[in-house]
């Protein structure tokens, strides 16, 4: 690496550490007890499942503070029932933190969705994007009628969020929680990065009522 490039890289890294010190200073000036309160524990009402894209940070988008939103992010906000990472976050949020809202939040112009719509190979990630190709397959009758590529990507962004909301509803975690309490809602959102505004897709689920019959689970016999 050239000396100049090395310097630039170090500066970028040092800025992160300086940024951290500035943040601590700002928060402590506003409230000297701020970090003591944060350290005492968390009681978030919301689980956010969003895209890893650097432009859609959960707290900034919802104007919330540390402590208010429990967060899980992956490429294209996919919720797969064999993903131990997602299931662990969901289980902890629903059964320990007792969050009241789970929000699957996609965003227009999502690179993961665009990649899934293409025929290009991207490497390992192609296996992850397969889940989105499956969403496409479910809705190809609608998507194939859209000739504008941007509009097609953005519609698949919406359909992907809706499918992931259903995927969460199909988990034993959510279905058992609904059996125990009535205050758990699963929502689907899309963020428009060009305006910053959220579009609520109005697919909020509060029970297993609208799931296909085969996905409705009886009470567990092993409990
Ligand atoms: Co994205």
What is the pLDDT tens value at each position of the chain, 223 positions in all? 677 888 888 889 999 999 999 999 999 999 999 999 999 999 999 999 999 999 999 999 999 999 999 999 999 999 999 999 999 999 999 999 999 999 999 999 999 999 999 999 999 999 999 999 999 999 999 999 999 999 999 999 999 999 999 999 999 999 999 999 999 999 999 999 999 999 999 999 998 887 878 788 888 776 5
What is residue 172's predicted lDDT score, i.e. its pLDDT? 96
Which among 72, 79, 107, 131 is annotated as catalytic? 107
**Residue 81's CATH number:** 3.40.1050.10
Same-domain pairing of 27 and 124: no
Listed residues: CB within 5 A of ion ligand 1: 51, 53, 110, 112
Catalytic residue flag (residue 169): no
Residues 66 and 20 in one domain: no
Q: Give residue 17's pLDDT.
A: 97
What pLDDT shows up at residue 4? 81
**H-run or E-run covering 171:** none
Q: How far apart are CA 181 and CA 168, in angstroms?
A: 16
For residue 110, give the 3-state DSSP assignment. coil
Same domain, 79 and 14: no
What tokens does 157 get? 């962004």
Count the domains in the chain. 2
For residue 1, the model assigns a pLDDT of: 63
Catalytic site includes residue 53: yes
> Which listed residue (72, 110, 131, 155) is catalytic?
110
Cβ(49)–Cβ(132) below 8 Å: no
Q: Does residue 60 share a domain with residue 25?
A: no
Whether residue 220 lies inside any domain: the answer is no
Q: Would you state the pLDDT for residue 3?
A: 77
Q: Does one domain contain both 167 and 68? A: yes
11 is an active site residue: no
Q: Is residue 219 part of a domain?
A: no
Half-sphere exposure of 142 (CA within 13 A, CB side): 12
Q: Are residues 159 and 81 in the same domain?
A: yes
- Do residue 146 and residue 190 come from a single domain? yes
Q: Are residues 120 and 60 in the same domain?
A: yes
What residues make up the domain containing 4? 1-41
Asked if the structure places residue 182 within a domain, the reply is: yes
Residue 222: inside a domain, yes or no? no
CA 111, CA 71: separation in Å to the nearest integer?
A: 20
Please indicate whether residue 110 is annotated as part of the active site: yes
The verdict on whether 73 is a catalytic residue reads no
Taking the whole predicted model, whether its pTM rises above 0.95 is answered as: no
Same domain assignment for residues 68 and 54: yes
Any domain includes 152: yes
Q: Is 221 contained in some domain?
A: no
List the beta strands (DSSP E) in 144-197. Answer: 185-191
């Amino acid at each position: 690496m050239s000396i100049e490039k090395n310097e630039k890289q170090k500066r970028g890294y040092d800025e992160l550490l300086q940024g951290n010190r500035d943040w601590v200073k700002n928060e402590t000036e506003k409230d000297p007890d701020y970090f003591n309160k944060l350290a005492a524990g968390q009681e978030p009402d919301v689980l956010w499942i969003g895209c890893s894209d650097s432009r859609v940070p959960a707290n900034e988008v919802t104007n919330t503070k540390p402590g208010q939103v429990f967060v899980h992010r992956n490429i294209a906000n996919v919720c797969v029932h064999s993903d131990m990472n997602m299931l662990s976050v969901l289980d902890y949020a629903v059964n320990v933190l007792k969050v009241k809202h789970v929000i699957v939040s996609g965003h227009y112009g999502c690179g993961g969705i665009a990649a899934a719509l293409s025929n290009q190979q991207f490497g390992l990630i192609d296996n992850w994007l397969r889940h989105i190709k499956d969403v496409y397959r479910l809705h190809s009758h609608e998507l194939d009628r859209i000739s504008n590529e941007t509009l097609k990507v953005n519609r698949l962004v919406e359909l992907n969020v809706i499918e992931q909301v259903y995927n969460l509803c199909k988990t034993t975690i959510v279905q058992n929680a609904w059996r125990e309490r009535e205050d758990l809602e699963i929502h689907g959102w899309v963020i428009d990065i060009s305006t910053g505004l959220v579009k609520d897709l109005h697919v909020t689920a509060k029970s297993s009522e609208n799931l296909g019959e085969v996905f409705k689970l009886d009470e567990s016999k092993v409990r």
